[in-house]
């Protein structure tokens, strides 16, 4: 699986890293237990600061998507992904608010908005083996 960063994007680099790794897990490209490159290797390959990659990995570890393995280094969580917490539902609602508002203002119907959400969700877990509960 490849990671691609846009240095000129408004999204900070560490956030791009976090998003793409989570997308990778969702689509099944990254399977539970798969080792990820070390912080040093990934930062060297991308040519970005070590601390940026460190921040991204730490965030993912905190959320429970990654785990530090004794021998393999950083791996994708093998013992089951974190479930839907209240925190996550709150975050989901927060981020959907602005999109829903913009869609409503522009005249998009509720069904169309739901349809878009569904198809994006399906895209994310398209490659079989995606994390589904």
Q: What is the binding site for other proteins (CB under 8 A)?
A: 1-8, 21, 24, 30, 34-37, 40, 42-50
Q: Phi-psi region for residue 80, left (φ > 0), alpha (ψ -120 to 50) or beta?
A: left
Residue 45, judged by CB atoms within 10 A of its CB (0-12, 13-18, 19+), counts as exposed
Q: How far is the CB of 42 from other proteins (least distance, A)?
A: 6
- Rounded to an integer, what is the distance from CA 56 to the centroid of its chain? 10
Residue 96 near residue 103 (C-beta atoms within 8 A) = no
Close Cβ partners of 88 (under 8 Å, ≥ 6 residues apart): none
Q: How far is the CB of 1 from other proteins (least distance, A)?
A: 5
Q: How far is the CB of 38 from other proteins (least distance, A)?
A: 9
Closer to other proteins by CB, 9 or 62: give it: 9
Coil, strand, or helix at residue 87? helix
Neighbours of 39 (CB within 10 A): 19
Closer to other proteins by CB, 50 or 99: give it: 50
Q: How far is the CB of 7 from other proteins (least distance, A)?
A: 4
Closer to other proteins by CB, 81 or 108: give it: 81
Q: What is the DSSP letter of 36?
A: P
Closer to other proteins by CB, 23 or 63: give it: 23
């Amino acid at each position: 699986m490849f990671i691609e960063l846009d240095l000129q994007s408004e999204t900070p680099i560490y956030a791009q890293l976090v998003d793409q790794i989570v997308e990778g897990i969702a689509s099944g490209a990254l399977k539970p237990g798969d080792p990820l490159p070390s912080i040093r290797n990934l930062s060297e390959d991308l040519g970005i600061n070590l601390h940026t990659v460190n921040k991204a990995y730490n965030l993912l570890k905190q959320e429970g998507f990654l785990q530090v393995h004794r021998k393999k280094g950083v791996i994708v969580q093998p013992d089951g992904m974190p479930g839907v917490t209240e925190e996550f539902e709150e975050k989901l609602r927060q981020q959907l608010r602005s999109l829903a508002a913009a869609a409503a203002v522009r005249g998009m119907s509720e069904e169309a908005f739901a349809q878009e959400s569904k198809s994006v969700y399906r895209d994310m877990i398209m490659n079989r083996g995606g994390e589904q509960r």
